[in-house]
Structures are given as structure tokens and as C-alpha cells.
Amino acid sequence: MNLFAKYSFKQKKFALAVVFVLLAAAAYKRSFSVTLDLIGLNNELEEKKIEASTSVERLKTKQNELNLINRMVGKENVPNEQVQQRFLSFFEQESAGLSIEKIEEVYTYDHPDFTINTNAITLKGGFVQTTRFLYKLEKSFPYARLVSSTLRLTTNRILQKNELHTTILLQNFWRPVK
């Protein structure tokens, strides 16, 4: 009993090719496409895993940079009005023989991520008292950092006396909470 005897060899080859194509399409649809999708998803998840591990390292680096900036520029997120009030309190406690001659208007630098406030304050007094106060200010004043100090000697013609004027620049930064 020959089932396919009535078909020619060419028709059998064509039928076999059609069945092969249908089986290949079914196999691709049922298993190969799912496997290829899962391989692609696995590669994507591996990339995200690597990105997540590097983002933790980048976050630690940013935190270290922020701590460095805090040490350089003073405490973060202290309003400038508080910085000025605390400076005046600190000055009152630590400045023997000095007086504040002038407090300039605050210079503000705005960046999208932070704001830096610069206070210019002119002091009047002796050299020894000024250097002691500047040392204490650098070491003990956490709310702003001493960025610059300029010493200027002037002659008071009325009193026939030399006066030392010291202009100091204090900076602090403000980072808005997002």
C-alpha cells in the first residue's frame, strides 16, 4: 500500500518544502522568537544592572564632592540672613579690639542647582587682633567660609594715626530642596 504513489516526485518535494516551511514558522513562533526575546531582555537587564551599580558609585562620588564643598564653602542650606546674624554674634564674642566698619550688600551667584552668597565685611582694628580673629573665624565658624581677606593701612589725618582696615569675604551656599 503506497500512500503517495499517485503523486509525482516533483509534487512530493514541493509538499515537503511547504510542510518544512510551515513547521519552521511554527517552531519559530512557538520557541525561537520567545528565546530571542528573552535573550534581548536578559541583555537589557544586564545593562541596567551595570548602570545601577555604577550609579551607586556615582552617588557616593557626588556625596563626597558635596562634603568637600561643604567644608570649603560652609554649611549647606543656611539662609544668608542667619549667616550674617551668626557672624555678628561670633564677632561680638571673639573680637577683642576690633570694630565693624562696613557691611556691603550681599553678592549672590545663582546657578540652577545652587546659590552662592558672598558677604563683604570691613573690619577696623590692630594687626594682632585682626589676625587672631581671622584665625578663629577660619577654625570655628561653620556657617560660611573665609574666602579672602585684604589688609589696607590708611592714615587718619585728624588723629595723626595709622588705621588697619581689613575686608573679608565670607561665602556660603544654598541648595534648594527638590
DSSP secondary structure letters along 140-151: H--SSEEEEEEE
164 in the same domain as 91: yes
102 in the same domain as 164: yes
Residue 168 has pLDDT above 70, yes or no: yes
48 part of a folded domain:
yes
Residue 143 has pLDDT above 80, yes or no: yes
Given pLDDT bands bounded at 50, 70 and 90, which one contains residue 130?
A: very high
Q: 3-41 pLDDT, tens per residue?
A: 777 888 888 899 899 999 999 988 888 888 888 888 999
The total of structural domains in the chain comes to 2
Q: Residue 97 region, left (φ>0) first, then alpha (ψ -120 to 50), else beta? A: left
84 in the same domain as 55: no
In the predicted model, what is the mean pLDDT of residues 110-118?
83
Q: What angle do CA 24, 29, 30 make, to 5 degrees?
A: 100
170 in the same domain as 85: yes
36 in the same domain as 86: no
123 in the same domain as 68: no
Q: What pLDDT sits at residue 71?
A: 67
46 part of a folded domain:
yes
pTM of whole model > 0.75?
A: no
129 in the same domain as 44: no
Q: Considering the chain, what is the average pLDDT of its residues?
A: 86
For residue 114, give its domain range.
Answer: 80-174
Q: Find the DSSP H helices in 74-126.
A: 80-94
Q: What angle do CA 174, 176, 178 make, to 5 degrees?
A: 155
170 in the same domain as 119: yes
2 part of a folded domain:
no
98 in the same domain as 63: no
Evaluate whether 102 touches 122 at the Cβ level (below 8 Å): yes
In the predicted model, what is the mean pLDDT of residues 45-65?
89
Q: Which three cell numbers stand for residue 92?
A: 561680638
164 in the same domain as 117: yes
- Among residues 48, 73, 98, the one where a domain terminates is 73
60 in the same domain as 135: no
